[in-house]
Structure formats: structure tokens, C-alpha cells
Homo-oligomer: A and B are copies of this chain.
Amino acid sequence: MADNYKLTPRSEDFNDWYNTLVLRADLADYGPVRGTMIVKPYGWALWENIQQALDGRFKATGVQNAGFPMFIPMSFLQKEAKHVEGFAPELAVVTHGGGQELGEPIVVRPTSETMIGHAYAKWIQSHRDLPLLINLWNSVVRWELRTKLFLRTLEFYWQEGHTAHATAVEADERTRMMLDVYTDFAVNEAAVPVIPGEKSEMERFAGADQTFTIEAMMGDGKALQSATSHNLGQNFAKAFDIEYLDENNARQHCWTTSWGLSARFIGAIIMTHGDDNGLILPPRLAPYQVVIVPIYRKDAEKTAVLEATHRIQQELAAVGVRVKVDDRDNLTPGYKFNDWELRGVPARIEIGPRDIAKHSVALARRDVPGREGKQFISQGGLAQTVQTLLDDIQASLLARAAQFRDQNTRDAANYDEFKTAVKTGFARVWWAGDNDNETRVKEETKATIRCFPLAQPGGAGTCFYTGKPAHKIAIFGRAY
């Protein structure tokens, strides 16, 4: 339950605002093993809504879910050279089981490409078995030292999709298709405007030929990598012998992809939409879209107010609105208003004795504070009014976030302009640098290439850093 005092303003200490908000809004708590997280019911309900929105989109593209073991033989990791190099420092290792020391150590999956490689090699025989399109909803473990709730935890919840194809073209199409799915989800469900693009070689997934990403700008101007889609080429197919017989009975290696979005996306939602009063959840994903706070002082008023409250609750639920009634009798209405603002419920209905007399209610929208966001409306046609309001809030959140992102994205023609831009947001630049240049920019400014946006202007320009002719625009930013 929220204490009734203010959060640290975002402008003062964004980090403290975030950490306090996650705990006070009852989204999550710290687990007893350092770096682990407990996702509390309110946070989990948000994750379930994210899962549902994504799962339907995955299945519409022919993907099926499955369940793979969390335990991977250590030797599997070592089969793909870059993969083990990337993940070895982050592994959790099981050395004892059932009271015995194990012959071969087992790792808790940091991601499942190797396990998938093992299984696909066994399952795929013929071109008729392709494409194979599987997704896993699970948790994975990466031994992170600097953790932050939702953004970076030792164990985290996510989905990992793994596909195998007969041709390079199909693998490329699938990689981009899933990036489109993520973009569609982010924009249309979470109201998080994202920039879809390709990662630089340095920021690629360990073992991928190409990594695509959707990048979002948080309320402090920093970037959050919100989902990734990898074209693994034939790297894992060769490491694990994922082969098929083609129509001419010739043996071929498959082409594989993997793609994932994690509960880190909850962090993206918090930091994109939240304000100094707390969360603002996009209506499509909010566990509760509307909270009703009944207001009464005397017992004589209580019966009529609660009767109207429950009637309205049912009217809204009947049209599919997710409603919460806050009938806690030990708290004041003012406390409840603050509490549900903190927890980001998109709309609030207040109903008291005078409203009943006038057959009206007060309807407040979370994204517009104070009187400006509050209207007094008739109870007649309330369900329709609420649905329209929720759609409006959803659209407004997206527009506001896009405007903020655009205002804080600056074209930079030289290093000075670049440094100014990445202090408060993104720099949009022509880039022709190599890995060394990229490393130096990071050391000097903490900014990295977030992506080369898929939407390129075309033509050519001058690299802001090397002065060389450049053919690609890059987005740089400081990242979470």
C-alpha cells in the first residue's frame, strides 16, 4: 500500500523516483538472493497482459509454444565460440544434485539457443519439417552485478522465440517479421513509440549475424533496448548440426533466428509514461483500467452509494472494461485517489451522494492532472463514455511520448553538437566509424549506437566523428 507522501520528483533524481515507485506501486520486491526479484500480483497482472498481447501476435504468424528445460550441459555452451564467449562470465552453475557432485557441471540457461540447437538437430529431418517456429515463455538467469528491478535482474522473465528455415531469405524475413511484431506491440499496446533498427556489430547478440532492436526513449532521455530479433545465419546450425534433406535429397544446414522481449518492458512502460505522481499505465495493458471510489460519510449514504457503485461496476465489466472498486473502509477518498494515481490506473470514477442525486459521476483521467482532467458526466451512457476516454488516453500517451522523444532527438553535425544531444536525449548522426571509433565515443560520452534505424533517409552525408563520407544514419544515446 502506498504511503501518502510524494515521490522524489523525476527531475531531481530519476533513478530514485524509479526504484521507489516500483516498490510503492506494488509491482515488485527484492528477492532474498542478491539481484533476484519478486514480481508482485499487480506487476504480474501487467506482465500477463503483455504476454497475452504478444502471444496472440506470435500465434497469428504460425508460432507454437513449447517448454524446454532450464538445465543445459556446460558442454553445449561451448559449441558456438562467440556464444560461450558472450555468456560464460554470466553463468549460474549447478555442481551438485541429489546429494552427489555431478560428473559434468550444468548451467541454468542464460538463453536457449544451444538447447534448441540440440533438439532441432534431432527433430528436423526433411524440408517438410521446415519452417519450425517455436516460442518459450520462461525465465533465464544471467549473473548480473549491477541489478535494477525489471531492467536488469539475475533471473528474468521473458519469451524467447526460435525458428529454423530452409533458406537465408526465409530467416531474414522471419527476423524482420518478429521485429515488426514487437514494434506493433510496443506502439499499439504499450503506447511506447520505438525506433526499429539494426544493431552495430559490437552490440550484436553473441552468435548472431545480424541483431535488430526496438529502442525507446525513457523520461530522462536515456535509451532502453526493448526487444531484439536475431538472424543467426548458419552459426548455430553448423555448431549443432541442424540439417535437413532438401527436395533433391541433398543435406543442407538450416538457417535459424531467435527473438525475445522480457519483463524489462515493464520498465519501459514505467519510464516512458510515469510522472511525479507515479505510474501511468496504458489502458490496453493496465490490470485495472478504471477504479471506482465510493464516497460517503454517514451510514445512511453508504447503502445508496455502494449500490450505485456496484451497478456501474457491472455496466463497465459487461462491455469488457477492467474495473476495480476500492471499498476499503479504513481509508479516506483522498488517500485512495493518491494511491491509485501512484499505481497508474488510467481512469477514476468518484461517486457520492450528490452524484447519485444528479444521476452523475466524476470521471478523472490519470494522464491529465487536477481539475483539467476531471469531468462530471451523466451515468447514462457511462460505459460508452469510459471506453472512448480509455481510447483517448491510449492515443494521448503515445502522442506525448513520441513528442518527447522527437523533441529530445537532435541531428548532430559535429562532436560538440553530439555531446550536447546525448546529454539529454538521442543524437541522430551520419556514421562511418569502425569498432574502435564506436568504443572511443562510448568512453568519452557514455553514448552508444542504439541502432541504425530501418527508416533511412537515403543518400549520403559526413560522419560526425570521422569526417568520412557516410551512407547510414545512426541513433546514439546513453542506455540502460
Residues of A within 8 A of B (CB): 29, 31-33, 36-41, 43-45, 47-48, 64-73, 76, 88-99, 105-106, 108, 115, 118-119, 122-123, 128, 134, 138-139, 141, 143-145, 154-155, 157, 328, 330
Contacts and interface: CB of A to CB of B under 8 A. Distances in A.
B95 A99 contact: no
Contacts of A330: 128
Contacts of A118: 32
A136 to B, nearest CB: 9
Contacts of A70: 70, 108, 139, 141, 155
B143 A98 contact: yes
A115 B33 CA distance: 10
Nearest to A47: B67
A44 B32 contact: no
The A contact surface, by secondary structure, is mixed
Contacts of A29: 119, 122-123
A71 B38 contact: no
A479 B37 CA distance: 38
B134 A41 contact: yes
B119 A71 contact: no
Nearest to A139: B70
A38 B69 contact: yes
A32 B115 contact: yes
Given A32-B115, A93-B97, A66 B48 contact: no
Contacts of A128: 328, 330
A51 to B, nearest CB: 11
Given A29-B119, A92-B97, A94-B108, 8 more contacts: A69-B154, A71-B141, A71-B154, A91-B97, A92-B96, A92-B106, A95-B95, A128-B328
Contacts of A144: 98
B41 A66 contact: yes
29 contacts: A32-B73, A32-B76, A33-B72, A38-B67, A38-B69, A38-B119, A39-B67, A39-B68, A41-B64, A41-B66, A43-B66, A44-B67, A45-B65, A67-B139, A69-B155, A70-B70, A70-B108, A70-B139, A71-B141, A89-B98, A92-B94, A93-B94, A93-B96, A94-B95, A96-B105, A97-B143, A98-B144, A98-B145, A99-B143
A155 B71 contact: yes
A40 to B, nearest CB: 6
B68 A38 contact: yes
Contacts of A68: 31, 38-39
A139 B36 CA distance: 16
Nearest to A70: B155
A95 B119 CA distance: 28
A464 to B, nearest CB: 37
A69 B70 CA distance: 13
Contacts of A93: 94-97
Contacts of A145: 98
Nearest to A331: B128
A69 B37 contact: yes
A91 B95 contact: no
Nearest to A75: B32
Q: Which of A123, A143, A157 has the most CB atoms of chain B within a 10 A radius of its CB?
A: A143
A281 B449 CA distance: 52
Contacts of A44: 64-67
Nearest to A100: B143
A139 B108 CA distance: 13
Contacts of A45: 64-65
A310 to B, nearest CB: 17
A57 to B, nearest CB: 16
A64 B41 CA distance: 6
